[in-house]
């Protein structure tokens, strides 16, 4: 099965994801529309069998900033996080983001 991508473009959606993370882990992917590395990593993410909540930082800077404030994880792009129980339990950036690593972390949680 392939990844399911959901647009994360509002603070309300972000709050909903943090609430939902108390029931199941949530994947957030910070994407830069101006970065070749981010585009490459985004293509790789199609191999992850999970919902991936994508925030395009140029279009939703307020959401990107709120993620930093809520998790304490320093902003990078591309960046992937797994949120569980309202906390970032995993994060990776740039080429360290792989569907295999995320799948392993999702299974490990």
Residue 57: closest CA among 89, 37, 33, 93: 33
- Band of pLDDT at residue 84, cut at 50, 70 and 90: very high
Based on the structure, what is the number of domains in the chain? 1
Q: CATH number of the domain at 83, please.
A: 3.40.30.10
Tens digit of pLDDT for each residue in 47-70?
A: 899 999 999 999 999 999 999 999
14 close to 63: Cβ distance less than 8 angstroms: yes
Is residue 109 pLDDT above 90, yes or no? no
Distance, in Å, from the CA atom of 36 to the CA atom of 38, rounded to the nearest integer, reads: 5
pLDDT in tens, 6-30: 999 999 999 999 999 999 999 999 9
Structure confidence at residue 80 as a pLDDT band (50, 70, 90): very high
Burial, 36: exposed, middle or buried (Cβ in 10 Å; 0-12, 13-18, 19+)?
A: exposed
Query: What band does 1 get if pLDDT is binned at 50, 70 and 90?
Result: low
Q: Which domain holds residue 55?
A: 4-108
């Amino acid at each position: 099965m392939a990844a399911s991508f959901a647009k994360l473009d509002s603070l309300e959606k972000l709050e909903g994801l943090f609430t939902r993370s108390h029931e199941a882990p949530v994947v957030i992917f910070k994407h830069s529309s101006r970065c070749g590395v981010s585009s490459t990593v985004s293509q790789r993410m199609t191999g992850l069998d999970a919902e991936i909540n994508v925030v395009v930082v140029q279009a939703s800077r307020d959401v990107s900033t709120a993620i930093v404030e809520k998790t304490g994880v320093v902003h990078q792009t591309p960046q992937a996080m797994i949120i569980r129980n309202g906390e970032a339990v995993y994060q990776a950036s740039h080429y360290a983001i792989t569907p295999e690593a995320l799948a392993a972390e999702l299974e490990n949680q």
